[in-house]
């Protein structure tokens, strides 16, 4: 597990009340609130895991950070400035913010050699001086050494882990300040997942680079993240240091997810019931109440908070960077 860190100074990335809504394709249909009021910061050198089920808004939020998805409300600031909208500003921003996708095979052009793939970013951004040296250094920094052994190979000649290292090298060749890793190891064999996670951790430390890891797997952050943000139906419902969230989960949703992942936590296994969340019909009150084990078991009624759960929307309290907080009425009794 990554050690807890203390950060000071301005955040590299700051999200304030971020909303992304998709209009209905049907006339008169409900709006899909894919991201629904997210607050989040990342500091240089910090790794934050954004965790939640498929459809909770994680990827939409990542696209918004990259400037690929228009906000319905709120602001995103990078290094104290709003994400630029002009062509020159966008180009500079996208050099500083890179993404690593889930499937390295789909990310790589099968007709390009490893050299061409990694050099592409340098050429797009007009930095061709010492190209061979920079490409080789990026490959070796990502564990493909000696680089000369890989430069003329094609993706089909590499293993899954090697392909993902090439993808990461293609991002790192531009020396980004923020890396977004979208399910970076979910398509890889278990034998190489730890190596890729260790690589991301080393890059964050050595380059003082912030990393946002998007994943559905709550087992992954234990090995890499400094903090965990748990997302449910468009909103972060719990956030804190990795040790706090995984060892002492506060939100019923987090506890349910962890109960089937970490047996050593000795949590009673909870299988979430109910349909997959629908961002077009978010329930009144707590958005988790239709599936909440505390509501379904009668515990919320026993504690005298059932009406709040059904009618009042809980929000995350104001916090410091390393505070462990959750949006749940049961925490306020």
Instruction: Give the whole-angstrom CA distance, residue 282 versus residue 36.
Output: 10
- What sections of the chain are H helices per DSSP? 58-65, 87-96, 104-107, 114-124, 131-141, 160-172, 190-207, 242-247, 252-259, 293-297, 299-302, 306-311
Query: Tokens 């939640």 correspond to what residue?
Result: 52
Determine phi and psi for 319, rounding to 5 degrees: -145, 160
More confident position, 260 or 177: 177
Domain residues for the domain of 33 are 2-22+29-332
- Is the pTM higher than 0.95? The answer reads no
CATH number for 320: 3.40.50.300
- Give mean pLDDT, residues 63-68: 93
- For residue 31 the two structure tokens come to 């709006």
Which pLDDT score is estimated for 127? 73
- What pLDDT digit, counting tens, does each position of 252-301 carry? 999 988 887 655 455 666 777 776 778 888 889 999 999 999 999 999 99
Number of domains in the chain: 1
- What pLDDT digit, counting tens, does each position of 89-135 carry? 888 899 999 999 888 888 899 999 999 999 999 998 877 789 999 99
Range scoring the smallest mean pLDDT among 18-27, 178-187, 274-283: 274-283
Which pLDDT score is estimated for 6? 55
- What pLDDT digit, counting tens, does each position of 208-264 carry? 999 999 998 888 888 899 999 999 999 999 999 999 999 999 999 999 888 876 554
Describe the chain by its helix, strand, coil percentages, rounded to 5: 35, 20, 45
Instruction: Give the whole-angstrom CA distance, residue 282 versus residue 47.
Output: 30
What number of residues does the chain have? 333
Q: CB–CB of 143/165 below 8 Å?
A: yes
Q: CB–CB of 43/210 below 8 Å?
A: yes
Determine phi and psi for 109, rounding to 5 degrees: -75, 115
């Amino acid at each position: 597990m990554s050690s807890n860190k203390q950060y000071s100074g301005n955040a590299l990335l700051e999200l304030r009340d971020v909303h992304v809504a998709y209009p209905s394709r049907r006339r008169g249909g409900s709006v899909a609130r894919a991201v629904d009021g997210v607050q989040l910061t990342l500091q240089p050198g910090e790794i934050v895991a954004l965790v939640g089920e498929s459809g909770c808004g994680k990827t939409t939020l990542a696209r918004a950070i990259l400037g690929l998805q228009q906000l319905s409300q709120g602001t995103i600031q990078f290094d104290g400035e709003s994400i630029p909208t002009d062509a020159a500003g966008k180009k500079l921003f996208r050099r500083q913010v890179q993404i690593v996708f889930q499937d390295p095979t789909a990310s790589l052009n099968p007709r390009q050699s490893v050299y061409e793939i990694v050099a592409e970013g340098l050429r797009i951004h007009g930095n061709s001086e010492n190209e061979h040296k920079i490409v080789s250094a990026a490959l070796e920094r990502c564990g493909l050494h000696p680089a000369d052994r890989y430069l003329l190979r094609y993706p089909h000649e590499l293993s899954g882990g090697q392909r993902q290292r090439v993808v990461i090298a293609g991002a790192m060749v531009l020396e980004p300040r923020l890396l977004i890793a979208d399910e970076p190891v979910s398509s890889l064999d278990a034998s190489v997942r730890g190596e890729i996670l260790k690589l991301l951790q080393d890059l964050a430390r050595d380059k003082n680079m912030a990393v946002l890891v998007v994943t559905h797997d709550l087992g992954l952050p234990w090995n890499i993240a400094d903090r965990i943000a748990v997302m449910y139906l468009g909103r972060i419902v719990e956030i804190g240091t990795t040790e706090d969230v995984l060892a002492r989960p506060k939100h019923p949703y987090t506890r349910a997810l962890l109960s089937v992942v970490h047996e050593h936590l000795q949590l009673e296994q909870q299988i979430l019931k109910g349909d997959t969340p629908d961002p077009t019909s978010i329930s009144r009150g707590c958005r988790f109440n239709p599936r909440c084990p505390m509501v379904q078991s009668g515990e919320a009624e026993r504690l005298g908070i059932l009406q709040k759960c059904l009618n009042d929307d809980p929000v995350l309290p104001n916090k410091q960077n390393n505070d462990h907080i959750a949006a749940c009425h049961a925490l306020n009794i």
